[in-house]
Amino acid sequence: MEFSSRKDLWMGMIIWGCIGAFVWLFYQSLFVKFDILGLVIAASMIYFLGWIWFNTKYKIEGDMLNIHFGPIKKLTRNK
């Protein structure tokens, strides 16, 4: 069985606030003063935070609980 995560308001405000800050950094790095390092960092962080927000899943297989949030995975056994 696989379940998507529930989206909490306070966590959404934190993640989307960070995404907004990195979008602002991306805009500044592209249009105000061109900075390739700022573009790479901002684009990477926007992708990473979006990946965590949209792809958090819980999967139950037998007595194992697999938790995937972005690139991070955690396995737990039921005792």
H-run or E-run covering 2: strand 2-4
For residue 38, count other CB atoms closer than 10 A to its CB.
18
What pLDDT, in 10s, does the model give residues 45-65?
A: 999 999 988 888 888 888 888
Q: Which residues pair with 56 in a beta bridge?
A: 69
What pLDDT, in 10s, does the model give residues 13-46?
A: 999 999 999 999 999 999 998 989 989 999 999 9
Q: How confident is the model at residue 66 (pLDDT cuts 50, 70, 90)?
A: confident
Would you say 67 and 4 are in contact if contact means Cβ atoms under 8 Å apart?
no
Stated pTM of the model: 0.77
Q: What is the DSSP letter of 63?
A: T
Look up residue 31 and give its two tokens. Answer: 């249009």
**For range 71-78, the mean pLDDT:** 77
Would you say 55 and 69 are in contact if contact means Cβ atoms under 8 Å apart?
yes
Q: Is the pLDDT of residue 79 over 80?
A: no
